[in-house]
Amino acid sequence: MQENKTIPSTEITIKKYYEKCGHTIKETNEIDDKYVNLTQEEFTEKYFKDNPKYKLESFSPQEIVVTESINASCGKHYLVTEENGKILLYKIDDSNKKVFYKDTGLTTEYLTDEDIKALDAGIRANGDDELNSVLENFVS
Ligand SMILES: [Zn+2]
């Protein structure tokens, strides 16, 4: 039987659950050398001693998933919009206020009327992955 131990290619996925907005943001990291070649029991003891806020969700040599509950909002609530032909990014803060974040450097020049209409209304995106997939649609 193969031993169920961490290996140098084990990935550690951290799922951060933000209580105030209900979003979960996933982040995957390579395993630190000091956690390699450990059984679940050994890993749990060592890792959670170093990271007491995390809880173990699953353990395998390929991937370890840990979770953390955070009493805050994720702070990654974006609004993609258009002004004078430029595609701009705003963040929506906790009190639902629109705060200018940055100019994406993209323009609406080659976009369809439909896309421009959607941008005029503003497109919401939560988290960086969602934001990137929204922006990908506007790269010509
Ligand atoms: Zn959120």
Per DSSP, the three-state class of 56 is strand
User: Distance (Å, rounded) from C-alpha 15 to C-alpha 63?
Assistant: 13
Domain boundary among 70, 100, 120: 70
Domain count across the chain: 2
- pLDDT on residue 127: 87
Q: How far is the CA of 73 from the centre of ligand 1 (A)?
A: 5
- pLDDT on residue 2: 62
Q: How far is the CA of 22 from the centre of ligand 1 (A)?
A: 6
Domain that holds residue 93: 77-136
6 in a structural domain:
no
Give the mean pLDDT of the chain.
94
Minimal CA–CA distance to 39: which of 1, 2, 4? 4
Domain boundary among 50, 70, 90: 70
Record the pTM. Answer: 0.70
64 in a structural domain:
yes
Neighbours of ion ligand 1 (CB under 5 A): 21, 23, 74
User: Distance (Å, rounded) from C-alpha 135 to C-alpha 104?
Assistant: 9
